[in-house]
Amino acid sequence: MNRIERHPLLRQAAGARCVKFSFDGEDFEGIEGEPVSSALMASGKHIFSHHVKDGAPQGIFCANGQCSQCTMLIDGIPKKACMTPLAAGMDVRTLKGLPVLPVSDEKLAQAERRSIRTDIFIIGGGPAGLAAAIELGNLGYQVVLADDKASLGGKLVLQTHKFFGSESDCYAGMRGYEIARKLEEEARRLPSVSLLSSAPVVGLYKDRKAGIFLNFESYVIVEFTALIVAAGAREKALQFPGWDLPGVIGAGAFQTLVNRDLVKAYEKIMIVGSGNVGLIAAYHALQAGIGVVGIFEAAGKISGYRVHADKIRRVGVPLFLNTTIVKAEGAGKVERATVAAVDEHFQSIQGTERTYDVDAVLVAVGLAPCNEYFEQARRYGIMAVAAGDAAEIAEASSAMYGGKTAAIELARMLGRNVEFHPEWEATRRILASRPGDSYERAPSVPGAEWRPVFFCFEEIPCNPCATVCPAHSIALKHNRGTIMDLPSFSGEHCTGCGACVAICPGLAITLVRKVSEDAAEVVLPWEFNINFEVGEQMDLVDQAGSFVERGTLVSMRRVRARETWLLTFRVQLSNAPKIAGIRARFESEFSPYYALTEHEDSILDTVICRCERVTMREAVEFIQKHNLRDANQLKSIRIGMGACGGKTCSQFISRAFALAGINPASTEQLTQRPLFMEVPMGALVNEGMHRLGGKDAGVRGAP
């Protein structure tokens, strides 16, 4: 089984029960309630269907219910495997071509209308949605919040790293899954707030009603007065030859498998994109014991926080700038991927290709807001506001304040005389800030007493080290006058407690002290499994990951409140201020594979629409033949008509027009459908036929 048995932070939920199910007629085991897709990937199964058009293998792509790549035949009905909880005795089948639906000539057994009435309906239970529910609940509004996942918290549930920001504003220094629990607990304490999990919203109607597919079994109508859309964001896709192979997945999908479901689906991965999502995904992979051959960024600089990039370099993962992926290959799933340098126009440079043996390519090239229901509400004239990533892509800390301000804004729209807190919006903007200026720090000289050494050089919104210091000896340098300012040692005494080292989200603080004329001790943070003992020598590196010296481990202490180890090493006195981390991994070997020919031709032959398997060439030729100026006319060849509602292919339509010689700015954009997931007709009338099963379940869907 490909399960993560030993993780430095995560454990399988208490009471998790193994159940048996069948896959293509064979018996397998999984954990009851986990997604069917995760149970299969834990068993080494990566292909979920074969497309009816060309037989292409389909596998997990978003793990978020946003696409249709994981659709399988589950108990006789086509369902998204990433959204369907595993149950004992399930019959799961690879979907081959078009499924043959079960025949049911029985009369309607029941037709029950189920509904809920509330003041305010919130779509999405991430940090913004929960924060909005808390504010509105405190104002006495009846609130119903619906989220499609089994656990509330949105992407916070997937985050094992400590968060930036400030302790007082957004729980800085706590890990994402801990913040999710805190927000949910606070919301559940409010009697007027109802939280619904495993409750995807599948329809929004003009008469201020929404449809919920509750527990993926029954259909419930929510009648409301006003709406908050806090549905988060979906990952952007990246088109390259082989991007439709199983094993090319979003970085968030990877985090879902690893951090939520504790599934080790891959052994060695490549990451494309150096934003915070990509950088953090690399760190999460290493914590799960998965190799990372490198992070590849087409731009000339890292787009995420420098402290995130530095801690990745320190553990031995290389970052390559001005480099992009050009191809992924494999028999049925990813087995290798090729990258190349790019020029100033982001075009691949022939002769710079190199290939890595990997079994997954993580795409981390940005996020797009899930705001379809908000746009639909505005068209219908429904009183609505958007919050979190549905309004602006930013960090989860910013989303919390976005939810708070959205709640107050909506209350005022409803006529409530409540105070608008301008400082909330100011805080939200700071927490959403891009990295600011970078500064050099004066070199530290170790003395007889402990002193902190700071390896954060770039302005980002973060101050927990200053608030956690018991001696109040750390303060932010007054430059901007906000938490964007850099910390420094401003006192006369350091207790050496290590609180600042343990809480730092960027692992960018160490402690040093002189112990003899030529030796010093340095305290370093460690968030991986412990597989060494006191007395061992380990490779110590500087802030950028360059080797400094082999230090001797003299003590280990675990700070349980932060789930962080503090490791103390004896090192040379002159090296102590330069040492920032411990080398854990090394760069993987690569070998030349093939030389690029006409790169645009290869792009033309790749699919633009994964759902309907329409190629870029087909799109370009159709545009040229009919002199199109409206992207909606591409629906004639099925682009945008698949189960994802055009959410993926819409990202590439502008490129299709450009390749056809037409300025994309002069065209009408594709109208996307707010479709989230399919609901069986029987569920719409609550007929109780969500699981048909039976002896014929296995034969349907055969080619």
Cα distances from 437 to residues 19, 76, 206, 504, 685, in angstroms, run 53, 57, 48, 20, 58
For residue 22, being part of any structural domain is answered with: yes
For residue 539, being part of any structural domain is answered with: yes
For residue 2, being part of any structural domain is answered with: no
Do residues 629 and 697 both lie within one domain?
no
For residue 593, being part of any structural domain is answered with: no
In the prediction, which pLDDT does 168 show?
84
Around 512, how many Cα atoms within 13 Å sit in the side-chain half-sphere? Answer: 26
In the prediction, which pLDDT does 672 show?
75
Do residues 224 and 119 both lie within one domain?
yes
Beta-ladder partners of 571: 520
Cα distances from 338 to residues 239, 254, 275, 550, 595, in angstroms, run 14, 20, 20, 34, 10
189 vs 224: CA distance, rounded Å:
22
For residue 7, being part of any structural domain is answered with: no
Task: List alpha helices for 525-630, DSSP H.
Answer: 599-604, 616-626
For residue 125, being part of any structural domain is answered with: yes
Do residues 209 and 326 both lie within one domain?
no
131 CB-near residues (< 8 Å, 6+ apart): 183, 387, 399, 400, 401, 402, 403, 404, 407
Residue 692: closest CA among 680, 684, 701: 680
The shares of helix, strand and coil residues in the chain, as percent rounded to the nearest 5, are: 25, 25, 50
Do residues 92 and 214 both lie within one domain?
no
* Phi, psi dihedral angles at 360 (to 5 degrees): -155, 145
In the prediction, which pLDDT does 104 show?
66
263 vs 257: CA distance, rounded Å:
5
Do residues 89 and 39 both lie within one domain?
yes
**E runs forming strands in 94-247:** 95-96, 114-117, 120-123, 143-146, 193-196, 201-205, 209-214, 218-223, 226-229, 233-235
Last residue of one domain, picked from the residues 517, 550, 582: 582
- What letter represents residue 176's amino acid? G
Do residues 326 and 354 both lie within one domain?
yes
Contact (CB, 8 A) for 210 and 201: yes
**Alpha-carbon 93 to chain mean position:** 28
Do residues 516 and 541 both lie within one domain?
yes
Beta-ladder partners of 96: 50
In the prediction, which pLDDT does 592 show?
55
Domain carrying residue 694:
16-98+688-703
278 vs 260: CA distance, rounded Å:
17
Do residues 470 and 577 both lie within one domain?
yes
Q: What is the pLDDT of residues 386-413, one digit of tens each?
A: 999 999 988 889 999 999 999 999 999 9
In this prediction, the residues of the chain whose per-residue pLDDT falls under 50 are 586-587, 596-599, 693-703
CATH number, domain with residue 34: 3.10.20.440
Do residues 346 and 376 both lie within one domain?
no
Question: Considering Cα of 587, then 592, then 594, then 596, what sign does the dihedral take?
Answer: positive
Last residue of one domain, picked from the residues 365, 382, 413: 365
Question: Considering Cα of 245, then 248, then 253, then 256, what sign does the dihedral take?
Answer: positive
165 vs 175: CA distance, rounded Å:
12
CATH number, domain with residue 212: 3.50.50.60
For residue 419, being part of any structural domain is answered with: yes
In the prediction, which pLDDT does 700 show?
41
Do residues 257 and 182 both lie within one domain?
no
52 vs 679: CA distance, rounded Å:
21
Give the DSSP letter of residue 288: T
Beta-ladder partners of 254: none
For residue 21, being part of any structural domain is answered with: yes
Cα distances from 37 to residues 49, 253, 340, 499, in angstroms, run 12, 11, 32, 40
Do residues 227 and 375 both lie within one domain?
yes
Do residues 361 and 426 both lie within one domain?
no
Question: Considering Cα of 345, then 350, then 356, then 358, what sign does the dihedral take?
Answer: positive
In the prediction, which pLDDT does 675 show?
65
In the prediction, which pLDDT does 690 show?
53
DSSP string, 443-496: PP---SS-EEEE---B--SB-HHHHH-TT--EEE-SSSSSTTSPEEE-SS----
Joined tokens for residue 679? 């609901």
676 vs 283: CA distance, rounded Å:
31
Last residue of one domain, picked from the residues 346, 365, 384: 365
Q: How many domains is the chain partitioned into structurally?
A: 5
